[in-house]
């Protein structure tokens, strides 16, 4: 399994490098708010600012690019529908968006497993993944740097458990089994890893 790697320098887009941190976060929140009033232009802008992270996450979890596109498409529709319900006092716009995407992606891999257990044929469509990240990819070099240092702050075992759960879409019990850990250990590593990530990134606790 691929590791949660540091963000490569090449992934940064100069176009968005100028809008890091809090400003970018305020911008997304404002775009969501406008979307909630039915402003499609604002939503298109929101899409442009987030689609590489959204699609990249979907691809990473579900693997199949065609299915990842479906996941992203469904997620964006849900984001549009729920945009007026986003509450910026409870978290950032990007976390809210990615929570929706992650949930949809995990649902997709789990229901795919459920249907393959029922012997349903699952037709794998193959589309080439474009690794050319131009749109919002790693939207700011400063941000990428913060993420990189935050990720290196995790212990190896925290990182391992966290990536299996987050990118692998496994439950903490499955993670424990995969890593030959006693049940209960994986959930602790996942939580500790997230807490360390949170504290390193300076996310309000």
Footprint (CB under 8 A) of another protein, residues 66-125: 69, 72-73, 76-77, 80-85, 87, 90-92, 94-95, 98-99, 102-103, 106-107, 111
Could you tell me how far CA 38 lies from the centroid of its own chain?
Answer: 25
Residue 172 near another protein by CB under 8 A: yes
Q: Which two tokens stand for residue 157?
A: 């075992």
Q: What is the CA radius of gyration of the chain?
A: 18
User: By the 8 A CB rule, do 150 and 25 touch?
Assistant: no
> Are the CB atoms for 11 and 130 separated by under 8 Å?
no
What crossing angle do the helices spanning 185-201 and 141-152 adopt, rounded to 10°? 140
Shortest separation between residue 179's beta carbon and another protein, angstroms: 13
Total number of residues that touch another protein (CB under 8 A)? 91
Q: CA-to-CA distance for 158 and 140, rounded, in angstroms?
A: 26
Tell me which of 23, 152, 155, 173 binds another protein, using CB under 8 A. 173
Q: Which of 17, 27, 178, 203 binds another protein (CB under 8 A)?
A: 203
141 binds another protein (CB under 8 A): no
Q: Does 181 bind another protein (CB under 8 A)?
A: no
Instruction: Find the binding residues for another protein in span 37-66 (CB under 8 A).
Output: 37-38, 40, 43-44, 47-48, 51-57, 59-60
- C-alpha span between 62 and 55 (Å, rounded): 10
Taking the complex as a whole, the smallest distance from the CB of residue 123 to another protein amounts, in Å, to: 19
Query: What is d(CA 156, CA 40) in angstroms, rounded to the nearest whole number?
Result: 43
Q: Which is nearer to another protein, 116 or 198 (CB)?
A: 198
Q: Tell me which residue of 135, 134, 154, 140 sits closest to 195, measured CA to CA.
A: 154
26 near another protein, rule: CB under 8 A = no
Tell me whether residue 75 or residue 124 sits nearer to another protein (CB atom).
75
Among 115, 120, 127, 155, binds another protein (CB under 8 A): 127
């Amino acid at each position: 399994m691929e590791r949660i790697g540091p963000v490569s320098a090449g992934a940064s887009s100069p176009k968005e490098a100028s809008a890091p941190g809090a400003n970018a976060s305020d911008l997304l929140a404002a775009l969501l708010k406008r979307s909630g009033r039915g402003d499609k232009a604002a939503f298109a802008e929101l899409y442009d600012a987030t689609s590489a992270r959204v699609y990249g996450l979907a691809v990473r979890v579900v693997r199949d690019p065609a299915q990842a596109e479906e996941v992203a498409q469904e997620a964006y529709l849900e984001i549009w529908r729920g945009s007026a319900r986003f509450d910026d006092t409870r978290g950032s716009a990007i976390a809210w968006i990615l929570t929706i995407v992650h949930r949809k992606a995990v649902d997709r891999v789990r229901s795919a497993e459920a249907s393959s257990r029922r012997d349903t044929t699952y037709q794998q469509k193959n589309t080439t993944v474009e690794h050319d990240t131009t749109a919002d990819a790693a939207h700011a070099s400063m941000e990428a740097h913060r993420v990189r240092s935050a990720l290196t702050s995790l212990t190896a075992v925290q990182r391992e458990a966290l990536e299996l759960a987050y990118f692998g879409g496994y439950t903490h019990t499955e993670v424990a089994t995969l890593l030959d850990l006693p049940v209960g250990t994986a959930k602790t590593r996942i939580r500790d890893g997230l807490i360390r990530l949170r504290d390193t990134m300076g996310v309000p606790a």
